[in-house]
Structure 1
Amino acid sequence: MSRPNGNAAHHFVDRHLEQGRGGKAAFLEGNRSLTYGELAERSDRMADLYARHGLGPEDRAAMILLDVIEFPIVFWGSLKAGVIPVPLNTLLSADHYRFILRDSRAKALFVSAPLLETLRPILDDLPCLQAIFVVGGDPEGFLDFAAELAEGTPRPAIEASPDETAFWLYSSGSTGTPKGVRHVHSSLQGTADSYAAEVLGIGEEDLVFSAAKLFFAYGLGNGMTFPLSVGATAALLPGRPTPQSVFELMSQIQPTIFCGVPTLYAAMVAQMQDDAPPGCGRLRLCISAGEALPKEVGESWRMRIGVDILDGVGSTEMLHIFLSNRPGDVVYGTSGLAVPGYELRLVDESGQEVGGDGIGEMLVKGDTAAEGYWNKRQKSRSTFEGHWTRTGDKYQRRADGRYVYCGRTDDMFKVSGIWVAPFEIEQALVSHPAVLEAAVVPALDENGLEKPKAFVVLKQAAADDIALQLKEHVKAAVGKWKYPRWIDVVDSLPKTATGKIQRFKLRACA
């Protein structure tokens, strides 16, 4: 008895031809576009391209690609060929790329031409790498992806089990060495059927713009999986998502769904006047993830744009958002409720359930959990506990069932014997009109005891007594004993490419 092909490329790409969407734009990028028909045909050529260069099922192909229309061609074409695509952060150093490319044993590399120079110093130190394809520019002695793809003969997608490894993502490495996270074919549809369908209510008529990049889990869902799940259109921004570049693209395309991260939303709010900027007229939903959204930022956005930001929580390990606010049911300062299809619980250091309003580590149960980490057996065992996945995030559950973010497990510390949630202090600091961003870490006082220390980025030059003002502001907002004893004004905070603050770097200099 035959079974349906579990290859995710059938559901997200080829199905749309059967349903008459071949001529519809799947992706927009600058003055270029890619229809569903073109995506299907070009991704069908990838298996022949791989075969000519010695790659087959289960081999890895690294993708260091900007958000351009070639990204979905390579990704879905790899799934069709059984080759495992490994999208990588486009902002890493050569040393980081060396580690990941050697760790994954990638045999092929697809790289955007502007990023090639960063890789040159390490290309002779990658023994498994057999072919380098350059996208969007002079191949400079390497393989020209466009020419190689044009030579290929289309081949249909191979048969695949829904439980078969489809692709890898590398964790952001905000607290250490990046980890290869292995995901199966069925997880892609799992995120679309849960968050995209049940929370966003995404439809074929939507035009989605994700400033969050395709190379990490949040952006991959927003900018590719979700729109392709319903035959919608996604707009891509190859460059860095600054407030100016984002507003410019929004003005051109008039999206209905916008996806960002808290850092970007804060910067965009800071640049707005009282009126909503051009390009926001068709917006029906905005979403945020990567880090918890400060209440002040969400309320300011709503006041200016007239559309809520749905703050949510996801992870590379779970592939997308599993905890979120909902349309028409937003409570800023909370992460909302479990997304349909997921279960949540809070546990203490001994693994016991946390009751009442206690703070505990969040565990999540859902079918989109990764298979595990590549080459990290002990870390896999400690993170993936049967059906449950440890998130590493500390949360508090309110009486109404909503969850309030308290910080990373490694970021929590005690003051006078009581747990302090850095994020609570950071939200209080950001609520001051002079502060754009803030991060809080523990530092030792003259008696060797831990107390809060804050690093703040100001919106503009402030009064000489700004530190005193901020201390008093925090005392009034969250309690006298939680105020930061020291405040350093800095130009910027260290972050990963996904917008997460790297507090371990701040702790090192506290």
Structure 2
Amino acid sequence: MSPGDAISFNLTDWFVDRHIREGHGQKVAIRCDESVYTYDVLAADVNRAGNGLLRLGLQDEQRVLLLLPDSPEFVIAYFGVIKIGAVAVPTGTAARTADYDYFLRESKARILIVHSTLFAEVAPILGSQHSLRHVIVVGERRPGCMHWNEWLAQNSPELDAATTSAEDVAFWLWTSGSTGLAKAAVHLHYDWVCCCRNYSVEVLGIGPDDTTFSSSKLFHAYGLGNGLMFPFYAGASTVLFSGKAQAKAVLGIAQTARPTLFFSVPTLYAQMLQEAERESYCLDSIRVAVSAAEPLPAEIFRRWQRKFGVEILDGIGSTEALHIYLSARPGDVKPGSTGKVVPGYKLRIVDSDSREVSPGTIGDLHVSGDSIAPYYWNRRQLTAERMLGHWFSTGDKYWMDEDGYYWYAGRSDDMFRVSGQWVSPFEVESALIEHECVLEAAVIAYRENTELYTPKAFVVVREGIAATPDLARELQEFVKHRITPYKYPRHIEFTDKLPKTAAGKLLRYKLRGLASGTFI
């Protein structure tokens, strides 16, 4: 089946109801704290949610904003909205009141489903929303709002999926990249099938006996694929964790829940390695670990493999492409490389004139594939700039070696010149992380009094290490001996943590603001 062939296709029918039809309703779908949901129990609640939304007057392609932690309620709401032909809009749980005001206005959401622990952030702006008609609260009751449990229980567990097509809109995902105001990438009913078939099956080899666990949350593309869509495509099981993704908690769950597929981000892998020095953890159930959101430094790959005996497969994807389109393979990893193109996608590296470059030459990475969003909501100009016919301009700089492996060189707007020669921040960061005292590092272009730019590094040291001027000088010499000397950081500033998005992407523009004295 391909998008063009699937005249009638509903995402929820394929990812949930199909398993009931195939006789797998008793299979465990979700484990979350003490809760266990089989596919048939989940399907009944999805139907109740869909029926309840219809009773509230929700119509085709109207939006429902989901402000929920990773939980069965998130899954039920997400699939329930999509099953009736409406549009689910998962939204981050760490934003502030002004952000939620923007999300509600931008989406023109008719219904908000929000957890009671997050209600205080949205309460001040609910009365000013012209499109919002209903608020449903999960958890504790809130005055003037419907309560999830009561609302769900009064609805029928029987519901036929809406007659949607593969190319109807199913959900939005917010993306701000590393700068700017969030915009919505609009995705279609069939998009997840492409990602699951191309990546989770062809690269990870997922099957019904697998159990997934993702530290990255369901409200963004990477976590939504890892923790929900991949296992539900295969009829497998997922472990959901509603709490904050901290190293000790994530390692504890990975040890007790015994997932076979584990997904995280480089920052957390580094923190988990540090935690594993203090306490012993057994992760022998994991057959494949995956990393995305940021490039995975080679040193973290090596340390993780030595500690836990399992490879981390680095990959790159985007909210626009929905998930990973370039990835290392099990048993075929070049540490520091992002691997090779995922089946079902095409890649090209081009120069400023959109001409393909030869191997070894850095250029702009473009991707083509059936999962790519057709447009950004309310962003016509940006859509025209980034969605180039069949190609999507990723904004990443890459080069390909003679063996077909791709190597990350930085974001297009992060590269800078020193003494007339290009510097990739990622190359300098990777060199710094190889030092035994360094936990994380981020490099920016720093403008000197001469108006020329030099590299400046922000460094997070490992626990118990003193951040001293002597260490800074040692790190500078360390880098000089590992990469071309002109790239070494002329300035090093130690910091407790690096600013990042909820997806784990470095907010380099905030570091540039700090370096220039600009308050952000």
TM-score (norm 1): 0.97
User: Is residue 467 of structure 1 aligned with residue 472 of structure 2?
Assistant: yes
Q: Name the CA distance, whole Å, in 2 between partners of 1:291 and 1:452.
A: 20
Q: Which residue of structure 1 lines up, in the alignment, with residue 518 of structure 2?
A: none
User: Is residue 36 of structure 1 aligned with residue 59 of structure 2?
Assistant: no
Residue 171 of structure 2, aligned match among 167, 172, 192: 167
Structure 1: state its 5+ residue gaps: none
Aligned pairs for 1:32-71 (under 5 A) are 32-71=35-74
Q: Name the CA distance, whole Å, in 1 between partners of 2:482 and 2:258.
A: 38
- Kept in 2: contact 1:57–1:81 (CA 8 A): yes
Q: Name the CA distance, whole Å, in 2 between partners of 1:3 and 1:249.
A: 39
Structure 1: which amino acid aligns with 2:73? E
Task: Note the C-alpha offset of 1:118.
Answer: 1.5
Question: Secondary structure of 1:396's partner?
Answer: strand
Residue 134 of structure 1, aligned match among 129, 132, 137: 137
Q: Which residue of structure 2 lines up, in the alignment, with residue 331 of structure 1?
A: 334
Residue 422 of structure 2, aligned match among 419, 422, 437: 419
Residue 217 of structure 1, aligned match among 196, 199, 221: 221
Q: Which residue of structure 1 lines up, in the alignment, with residue 481 of structure 2?
A: 476
Q: Which residue of structure 2 lines up, in the alignment, with residue 208 of structure 1?
A: 212
Question: Secondary structure of 1:477's partner?
Answer: coil
User: Is residue 105 of structure 1 aligned with residue 104 of structure 2?
Assistant: no
Q: Which residue of structure 2 lines up, in the alignment, with residue 178 of structure 1?
A: 182
Question: Secondary structure of 2:203's partner?
Answer: helix
TM-score (norm 2): 0.96
Residue 506 of structure 1, aligned match among 502, 508, 511: 511
Task: Note the C-alpha offset of 1:216.
Answer: 0.4
Structure 2: which amino acid aligns with 1:260? S
Question: Secondary structure of 1:139's partner?
Answer: coil
Q: Name the CA distance, whole Å, in 2 between partners of 1:202 and 1:276.
A: 28
User: Is residue 410 of structure 1 aligned with residue 413 of structure 2?
Assistant: yes
- Kept in 2: contact 1:262–1:294 (CA 8 A): yes
Measured against aligned partners, the alpha-carbon deviations of 1:352-404 in whole angstroms (never above 9, x if no partner) come to 21223111110001010101100000000111011100100001111111111
Measured against aligned partners, the alpha-carbon deviations of 1:111-135 in whole angstroms (never above 9, x if no partner) come to 1111111112222222111111111
Q: Which residue of structure 2 lines up, in the alignment, with residue 429 of structure 1?
A: 432
Q: Which residue of structure 2 lines up, in the alignment, with residue 360 of structure 1?
A: 363
User: Is residue 234 of structure 1 aligned with residue 255 of structure 2?
Assistant: no
Aligned pairs for 1:337-356 (under 5 A) are 337-356=340-359
Q: How many residues align?
A: 508
Aligned pairs for 1:118-157 (under 5 A) are 118-153=121-156, 154-157=158-161
Aligned pairs for 1:88-103 (under 5 A) are 88-103=91-106
- Kept in 2: contact 1:172–1:498 (CA 8 A): no
Q: Name the CA distance, whole Å, in 2 between partners of 1:59 and 1:8.
A: 16
| Higher alpha-carbon deviation: 113-122 or 446-455 | 113-122
User: Is residue 250 of structure 1 aligned with residue 246 of structure 2?
Assistant: no
- Kept in 2: contact 1:357–1:398 (CA 8 A): yes
Measured against aligned partners, the alpha-carbon deviations of 1:159-214 in whole angstroms (never above 9, x if no partner) come to 11101111100104521010111001111111010000000000100011011101
Structure 1: which amino acid aligns with 2:483? V
Task: Note the C-alpha offset of 1:461.
Answer: 3.0
The two structures, once aligned, show a CA RMSD in angstroms of 1.4
Aligned pairs for 1:298-317 (under 5 A) are 298-317=301-320
| Higher alpha-carbon deviation: 171-180 or 189-198 | 171-180
Question: Secondary structure of 2:482's partner?
Answer: helix
Task: Note the C-alpha offset of 1:3.
Answer: 7.1
Structure 2: state its 5+ residue gaps: 516-520
Q: Name the CA distance, whole Å, in 2 between partners of 1:176 and 1:370.
A: 19
- Kept in 2: contact 1:274–1:304 (CA 8 A): no
Question: Secondary structure of 1:75's partner?
Answer: helix
- Kept in 1: contact 2:252–2:281 (CA 8 A): no
Q: Name the CA distance, whole Å, in 2 between partners of 1:70 and 1:61.
A: 14
- Aligned-residue identity in percent: 43
Task: Note the C-alpha offset of 1:349.
Answer: 1.6
User: Is residue 490 of structure 1 aligned with residue 495 of structure 2?
Assistant: yes
User: Is residue 397 of structure 1 aligned with residue 394 of structure 2?
Assistant: no
Q: Which residue of structure 2 lines up, in the alignment, with residue 322 of structure 1?
A: 325
Task: Note the C-alpha offset of 1:65.
Answer: 0.7
- Kept in 2: contact 1:16–1:22 (CA 8 A): yes
Task: Note the C-alpha offset of 1:252.
Answer: 1.9
